Amino acid sequence: MSWNVNKLKEDVRVLYGDELACLLEPTVRSFQWRLDFAHYHYNAAIREMEGGIGERDSEEVVALIHGIDGENALRTYYSAQRRALANYVACIQSIHALSDTLAHVIYFGLAMALDKATRLKDRDISLYNVWSKLSAVPDGVNLQVLLKELREHPEFRYLNRLTNLTKHRAIMDARHTVSLVEGEPDGFRLPSFKADEETYPARWLEPVLSSEFRRQNVLHIDIGCELNDILAKRLSACPP
């Protein structure tokens, strides 16, 4: 299943006019770009570490870290690690931004600003606030359920806490780590951290990002298709 964003933009234009369609256009584009950015930075991080490690296996990486391959090789490894982390941080922030950008798509797509009961100040348009306001949208029941599924998942909350910590307090000291478990790939290890009185355990970064991105992407499509269905029904209800 795919989400026809061109149909979304055209239906908003027909229902609500050019002004609202012009607000929607860059928001939809930004949502699509954020998806691409998340992909790009995740893959760029992997490429950086592949360049820094070369053809070495896990045991050879341990030897590298202990300086067996010389200062230049060690410097190349640590430089690749820093660049990879920069890309992972950008990936995390892009995934985090997707939800609030999607909230803007819904807000503009349903013309929620036209109704006092669902109107929000620009700075208050967020996933949570749009989800809350959908209670006042009669045909938004299914959409609200989908948004709840998106935002109340434990991995969504985990990445949300991690992103806010990284943005406002300190970048997580995640480092490329050689796995000591047979069959488990090497990768970046996120240290444990505490946020909002809750302690989050240390975890491997790559599986967290890849699995949560896939989960969210499926829901993004479901949410977009539901948004399109709402607009299609509103159009069909309009007098000829």
Give me the long-range contacts of 117-120 (CB less than 8 A, separation at least 24).
none
Task: Identify the DSSP state of 185.
Answer: P
238 band by pLDDT with thresholds 50, 70 and 90? confident
Q: What are phi and psi of 200, to 5 degrees?
A: -110, 130
| Lowest mean pLDDT across 58-62, 79-83, 146-150, 218-222 | 58-62
Distances (CA, A) of 130 to 31, 41, 51, 66, 127: 16, 28, 43, 52, 5
- Chain segment 161-194, per-residue pLDDT in tens: 999 888 888 888 888 988 877 777 889 999 998 8
Q: What per-residue confidence (pLDDT) applies to 69?
A: 85
pTM recorded for the entire structure: 0.91
User: What is the pLDDT confidence band of residue 1, given thresholds at 50, 70 and 90?
Assistant: confident
Of the candidates 92, 225, 103, 101, the residue with the CA atom closest to the CA atom of residue 155: 92
Query: Residue 64: pLDDT band by 50, 70, 90 thresholds?
Result: confident
Q: What is the CA radius of gyration of the chain?
A: 22
CB atoms within 10 A of CB 204: 17
Confidence band, pLDDT 50/70/90 cuts, at residue 13: very high
